[in-house]
Amino acid sequence: MEHASFIFGSWGITAVSVGAYAIWVLRRGRELAKHATREEMPWT
C-alpha cells in the first residue's frame, strides 16, 4: 500500500488517543464508584 506509514499512522493515532481516553473514563468511573453510595449511583 502506498503511503502506508501515513495511513496506518493516522489510524493508529486515532485508535490510541480515543482508546486512551475511553480507558481513562472507565478507570475514573471505577475509582469514584469505590467510594460512592448506592444513592449516588442511580444507574445501578
What are the distances in angstroms from CA 31 to CA 6, 12, 13, 26, 41? 37, 28, 27, 9, 13
Please count the residues of this chain forming the interface with another protein, following the rule CB under 8 A. Answer: 32
- Euclidean distance between CA atoms 36 and 9, whole angstroms: 40
Segment 3 to 42, residues that bind another protein, using CB under 8 A = 3-4, 6-11, 13-14, 17-18, 21-22, 25-26, 28-30, 32-38, 40-41
Interface with another protein (CB under 8 A) = 1-4, 6-11, 13-14, 17-18, 21-22, 25-26, 28-30, 32-38, 40-41, 43-44
